Amino acid sequence: MEDQMKSLLRQLVRRIPIRFLKVTLEKWGRLTVAQQQNIDFTQTKWALADELIAYSEENRLTLRHITELEMIYVIDNPNQGMWHAFQLVDPESDAPAVELMQFKEQFKSHLNELVRNVSVKMKKNTDEAVWIRIAWGDSCSRPNNMRPTYVVHYLQTPYVFVTRLTSKQKTLLSQAMIIATRHQAIKDAHLSGRNFSAIRDLLMQEYEQVFPAKYPSALVERNQIAALPNIEREQAEAEVNRLQMACEAFGGGKLPQLQSVVYKLETKFKDPSNQTFTEREKPFNCVVTFTSKNLLESLRHCASSGIASTPITPLLSSIPRRGRNYFVITDKVSGPSSQINPTV
């Protein structure tokens, strides 16, 4: 236990950039004020870790305290590693009544039933999110605190966000999760990315969505058009129209910073100039990936500036509308056009 504590603390000091370390330690509040003031943040990380280990021993801190420090850091800086979204489905009638204490108890006890050696720590953030840190072990090994899984869930919502999870752990987590939240199943939401808040905002609808306005075409825009010479009038109207359509498809204002979207094509190859491929019976499989600093903003710009045609194809508008960034596209059985199929 002692060794685990030391190595976890050492790992943490290595991971946390110096500029965040001071704030994180202050938030943690397990060191005395004098100890905090004594820390020399200019020394090497190795020496810094030694100093913190010494203080922790002096204050008789345990492994749980160090995991607490890790949680504080991860909650404040969640954009490390891939986050995957899952969706709980088929809620039981008492699902909306689940509250934090009950959830905590149920989740821990069910996970403990499934795996003997597992250590779970939960913390509720100020924005009502429940952060769960799981250190997994198995029947013969102690929980490995060096590679914990992080799970974020907002109670009463169907969404679960997970990072650092192996497929074996996924089954265990899913079971504990559906029992604790009173649902019947959980499925992959086909949304993943490095930016945690982007994924969360997209699914929780925490961004400005634009709807066909109650009062069509804003007065300001109309006045602007009237002020321009006649020749530009039609173009400007089209531009306003495109912008409206782009915003309706992708949202207005600042958009969640989604960084990639993947389309897996399982469609027949169609090109009149390439007979060999077009005549093949089997679908032509390929993967198309779009990446950008802010993909939704890029797509919105493409549509509003006329690079992408409007009305916007469901292939693109499905990203925010259905909150996912992984699609499998197959040929419709009856028609030639492609469709988006949800796949697991």
Partner 1 sequence: MNKQQVDIFPTKQGDGRPLNMEPAKGVLSHLSALEVRARSRQVQPRQRSRVEELRARAEALTVQRDRLKAEIHAHKGIEKHKTRLNNRGAAAAEEEMETEDNENEQLLHLIARVMDLKQLLYAHHIIGGYDITKTRRGKGICVTLSTAYEGVYLETYNMELDVGPTLKISRHNVPPFIPLGELCEPAGRQKDLRGFLDPLLTRLNAFAGRRQQLRLVKELHPSVTVMESNMLCSILVILLSTPREKTTLLCTLNYTDHTRCLPTGVHFDCEDKKLLESSKWKNNRKLLMETPVHKALGAMKNMDCIG
**Contact positions vs partner 1 (CB under 8 A):** 91, 96-97, 99-100, 128, 154-159, 203-205, 209, 211-214, 216, 321
| Residue keyed to tokens 């497929």 | 167
* Shortest Cβ 262–partner 1 spacing (Å): 22
Nearest-angstrom CA–CA distance, 188 and 148: 20
- Under a CB-based contact definition with an 8 Å cutoff, are residues 198 and 259 in contact? yes
* Shortest Cβ 31–partner 1 spacing (Å): 26
Residues with Cβ within 8 Å of 270's Cβ and at least 6 positions away in sequence, in order, are 278
Closer to partner 1 by CB, 126 or 141: give it.
126
Closer to partner 1 by CB, 87 or 119: give it.
87
Residues with Cβ within 8 Å of 227's Cβ and at least 6 positions away in sequence, in order, are none
- How far does CA 212 lie from the centroid of its chain? 28
* Shortest Cβ 91–partner 1 spacing (Å): 7
* Shortest Cβ 200–partner 1 spacing (Å): 11
Taking the CA atoms of residue 95, residue 96, residue 99 and residue 100 in that order, the dihedral angle to the nearest 10 degrees is 80
* Shortest Cβ 266–partner 1 spacing (Å): 25
* Shortest Cβ 86–partner 1 spacing (Å): 13
Closer to partner 1 by CB, 253 or 272: give it.
253
What is the number of other CB atoms lying within 10 angstroms of the CB of residue 65?
15
Closer to partner 1 by CB, 36 or 157: give it.
157
Closer to partner 1 by CB, 39 or 315: give it.
315
Closer to partner 1 by CB, 23 or 100: give it.
100
Nearest-angstrom CA–CA distance, 233 and 78: 48
> Which tokens in the block code for residue 300?
């919105």
Phi-psi domain of 87 (left: phi exceeds 0; alpha: psi -120 through 50; beta: other): beta
* Shortest Cβ 322–partner 1 spacing (Å): 9
* Shortest Cβ 282–partner 1 spacing (Å): 34
Closer to partner 1 by CB, 103 or 136: give it.
103
- Closest to 315 (Cα-Cα) out of 307, 326, 304: 326
DSSP string covering 290-336: EE-SSHHHHHHHHHHHTSS-SSPPHHHHHHHHHT-SEEEEEE-SSSS
Which helix (H) or strand (E) segment is 135 a member of? strand 129-136
Residues with Cβ within 8 Å of 238's Cβ and at least 6 positions away in sequence, in order, are none
Closer to partner 1 by CB, 12 or 249: give it.
249
